[in-house]
């Protein structure tokens, strides 16, 4: 007898596979142990596990010919054996009666503080590694992202929800689907699943967490349905449907791949792709992307204990440019904030990470990280049509700061005689209401605009997009959001700079038509949405698009 | 108890792989082994451990004092001094 669970939303597609239950690392979670000795036994097991994980990762990296990265993890493994760490955790558990998780965090914090106090830049840099030790231990206690590296083929991940850093692990192609207990239709899990073309159901409720490892599962993403232990009939039906859907998607992909994006009466609307790593650029090209409108670079910075080198970044940017064969590639600079911390960047906890020291603001505190990225970008710009995009711009000063750093990076490369392309187009994200309402001022100095509708909606509506109820009530196509987009579009046209949209809105057919009606030059979306949007826009006339744009700015707007 | 003063000549000092090798070697002995970085007068004498080596920040050219106390103290000091002389197999 099968069990049917209904979710709040998901990513389209059908997946058949087996459950892999995944408990994300929740630093705040603690377990009450019966005795201090039970806590210490748990610690010793976690310590052994974490050491084995790190050494295993080191061996794998070494086998891949990346000895420098391997050494980072091996050095961490040795630090996990440190007698101070072991003794201090045991002392806090036995003498202070601390919970194990608290003792681990307190001890690794103590180690970090000791190193931070030293009068030596190298050692202060190592301080952040101590937090990574704590994370490795807590990860071993409660399940960690490293478990996601070794998934059996056809795995369907069943989890409470997945953090962006964790989802970054899931690009290997072995994951058949996601099923989460929490998270809404516009949450990051659903967005990522759509981006990767992986079927998913989100917001299934806590019942989903009772599913046992290895259970036979079917995901019907379009209907937000999860079937556990399906009957033979159900399995056969879905297997046939999956085959049929794949064939239909493939036909559409091939039909539209080499067609430019345009309206029914011929006006060009560029259809570009959002990607999260260079491998996706190939997927984008295969789906007919006319450019990359958003290349998120965070994948380079997550899941590691030291920042990526200039060369490593250069290689990644070149790979995307080569895959796109001369078509434009818009690369967004570091967009990291307190919601997705990385161990080697000191980010004190903030009450409101989305209103905090994130993204470009973080780069202002760590100009070293920013300068390295800019140098890598300027060097890669010799290999294709690379545009640089600054996120989280709120003022003209923000843009000018970024421009000054870019100029400085050009000088550094020129002085060192390193080949680079100095005349790179520098544009900005319009994702704060502040940027939208001052778009006329920003347009005079920006090389292009790209509207990030996900954050623009969140900031305009004052509604966290991770909260499903609020996300439903204050959607991306809200009247206020469209009016801000219209302001930015007018400013861009007046100044004669291109304007694109790279949020989820661009991949929604009705909204895509309204955006085309506002005169948006390019719509950037998940590669898998491209054929669908090209097909839809070819059925819409300029007059219909203009009417849709006007309606979208009025309360009468009813998305199709 | 015996002690010796050594100059660290390998390029990276007592960091990363050399630190790991150094620490692993001390665990082959039963003697209590401590290290002090004489080139950083503000640091203390500490038992040899991965974290303590990190704290001591022993760079190329630094002088360290090793002390061993126990049944195999001479063998311990000899073995550790040999590793330093061999530059941990670098270059």
pLDDT in tens, B45-66: 999 999 999 888 888 899 999 9
Q: What is the dihedral of CA A314, A320, A322, A324, to 10 degrees?
A: -150
pLDDT of A497-530, one tens digit each?
Answer: 999 999 889 998 999 999 999 999 999 998 989 9
Residue the block writes with tokens 């390193």 = A418
Angle, CA of A505, A506 and A509, to the nearest 5°: 90
* Residue A538: DSSP 8-state: T
Of A196 and A424, the one with more pLDDT: A424
| pTM for the whole structure | 0.63
Q: What is the largest CA-CA distance in chain B?
A: 34
Q: How far is A101 from chain B (nearest CA, A)?
A: 20
CB distance B55–A118 less than 8 Å?
yes
CATH number of the domain to which A431 belongs: 3.20.20.60
In DSSP notation, A197-255 reads T--EEE---GGGGGPPTT-EEEEEGGGTEEEES--HHHHHHHHHHHHHHHHHHHHHHHH
| Shortest CA distance from A113: residue in chain B | B55
Q: Are both A83 and A189 inside the same structural domain?
A: no
Who contacts A123 (Cβ-Cβ below 8 Å, separation ≥6)? A115, B54, B55, B57
* A369 and A479 co-located in one domain: yes
- The alpha-carbon gap from B6 to the nearest alpha carbon of chain A, in Å, equals 22
| CB atoms B55 and A114 under 8 Å | yes
Q: B34: domain CATH number? A: 3.30.1340.10
pLDDT at position B28: 92
Which residues does chain A have within 8 Å of residue B47's beta carbon, measured at their own beta carbons? 83
**Cα separation of A135 and A129, whole Å?**
10
Burial of B27 (0-12, 13-18, 19+ CB in 10 A): exposed
CATH number, residue A135: 1.10.274.10
For B53, the 3-state DSSP assignment is: helix
Q: Is residue A559 part of a domain?
A: no
A246-299 confidence digits (pLDDT tens): 898 889 999 999 999 999 999 999 999 999 888 889 999 999 999 999 999 988
Instruction: Let me know whether A207 and A292 are in one domain.
Output: no
CB nearest to B57's CB, from A78, A83, A123: A123
What is the pLDDT at residue A159? 83
- The mean of the pLDDT values for chain A is 87
Tally of structural domains, chain A: 3
Considering the domain architecture, whether residues A266 and A378 belong to the same structural domain is answered as yes
Note whether A210 and A284 are same-domain residues. Answer: no
Task: Report the C-alpha gap between B87 and B82 in whole angstroms.
Answer: 9
Does pLDDT of A72 surpass 80? Answer: no
Does A109 share its domain with A168? no
Test the B interface: residue of A84, A85, A86 with most B CBs within 10 Å? A84
Q: What is the pLDDT of residue A104?
A: 92
Q: Are residues A443 and A518 in the same domain?
A: yes
What are the chain B neighbours of A133 within 8 Å (beta carbons)? none
Segments forming the whole domain that contains residue A108? 36-142
Domain that holds residue B65: 2-89
Which ipTM score applies to this complex?
Answer: 0.85
How confident is the model over A328-384, as pLDDT tens digits?
999 999 999 866 678 788 888 788 888 999 999 999 999 999 999 999 999 999 999
Count of domains for chain B: 1
């Amino acid at each position: 007898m099968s069990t049917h669970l209904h979710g709040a939303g998901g990513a389209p597609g059908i997946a058949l596979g087996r459950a892999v239950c995944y408990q994300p690392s929740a630093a705040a979670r603690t377990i009450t142990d019966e005795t201090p000795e039970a806590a210490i036994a748990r610690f010793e097991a976690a310590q052994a596990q974490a050491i084995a994980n790190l050494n295993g990762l080191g061996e794998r990296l070494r086998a891949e010919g990346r000895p420098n990265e391997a050494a980072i993890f091996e050095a961490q493994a040795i630090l996990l054996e440190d007698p101070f760490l072991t003794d201090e955790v045991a002392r806090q558990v036995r003498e202070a009666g601390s919970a194990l998780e608290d003792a681990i965090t307190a001890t690794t914090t103590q180690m970090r503080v000791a190193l931070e106090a030293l009068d030596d830049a190298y050692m202060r840099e190592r301080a952040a590694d101590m937090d990574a030790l704590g994370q490795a231990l807590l990860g071993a206690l409660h399940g960690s992202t490293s478990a996601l590296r070794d998934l059996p083929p056809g795995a369907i991940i069943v989890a409470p929800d997945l953090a962006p850093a964790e989802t970054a692990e899931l690009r290997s192609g072995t994951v058949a689907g996601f099923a989460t207990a929490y998270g809404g239709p516009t949450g990051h899990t659903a967005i990522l699943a759509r981006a990767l073309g992986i079927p998913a159901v989100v917001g299934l409720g806590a019942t989903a967490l009772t599913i046992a490892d290895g259970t036979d599962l079917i995901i019907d993403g379009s209907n937000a349905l999860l079937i556990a232990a399906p009957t033979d009939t159900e399995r056969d039906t879905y297997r046939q449907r999956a085959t049929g859907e794949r064939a239909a998607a493939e036909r559409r992909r091939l039909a539209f791949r080499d067609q430019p994006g345009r309206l029914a009466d011929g006006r060009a609307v560029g259809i570009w792709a959002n990607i999260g790593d260079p491998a996706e650029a190939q997927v984008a090209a295969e789906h007919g992307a006319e450019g990359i409108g958003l290349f998120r670079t965070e994948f380079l910075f997550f899941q590691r204990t030291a920042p990526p080198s200039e060369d490593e970044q250069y290689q990644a940017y070149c790979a995307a440019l080569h895959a796109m064969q001369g078509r434009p590639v818009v690369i967004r600079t570091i967009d990291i904030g307190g919601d997705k911390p990385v161990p080697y960047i000191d980010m004190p906890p903030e009450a409101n990470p989305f209103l905090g020291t994130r993204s470009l603001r973080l780069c202002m505190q760590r100009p070293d990280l920013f300068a390295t990225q800019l140098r890598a970008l300027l060097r890669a710009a010799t290999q294709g049509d690379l545009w640089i995009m600054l996120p989280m711009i709120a003022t003209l000063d923000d843009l000018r700061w970024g421009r000054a750093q870019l100029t400085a990076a050009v000088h550094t490369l020129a002085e060192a005689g390193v080949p680079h392309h100095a005349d790179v187009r520098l544009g900005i994200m319009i994702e704060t209401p502040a940027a939208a309402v001052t778009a006329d001022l920003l347009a005079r100095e920006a090389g292009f605009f790209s509207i990030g509708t996900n954050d623009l909606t969140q900031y305009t509506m004052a509604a966290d997009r991770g909260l499903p109820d609020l996300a439903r009530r204050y959607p991306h196509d809200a009247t206020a959001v469209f009016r801000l987009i219209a302001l930015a579009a007018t400013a861009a046209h007046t100044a004669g700079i291109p304007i694109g949209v790279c949020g989820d809105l661009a991949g929604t057919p009705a909204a895509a038509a309204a955006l085309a009606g506002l005169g948006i030059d390019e719509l950037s979306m998940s590669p898998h949405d491209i054929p669908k949007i090209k097909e839809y826009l070819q059925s819409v006339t300029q007059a219909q698009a203009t009417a849709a744009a006007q309606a979208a700015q009025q309360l009468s707007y009813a998305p199709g | 108890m015996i002690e010796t003063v050594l100059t660290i000549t390998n390029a990276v000092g007592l960091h990363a792989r050399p630190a790991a090798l150094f620490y692993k070697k001390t665990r082959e002995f039963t003697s209590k082994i401590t290290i002090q970085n004489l080139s950083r007068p503000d640091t203390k004498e500490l038992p040899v451990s991965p974290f303590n080596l990190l704290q001591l920040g022993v760079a190329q050219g630094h002088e360290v004092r090793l002390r061993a106390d126990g049944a195999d103290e001479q063998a311990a000091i000899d073995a550790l001094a040999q590793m330093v002389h061999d530059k941990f197999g670098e270059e």
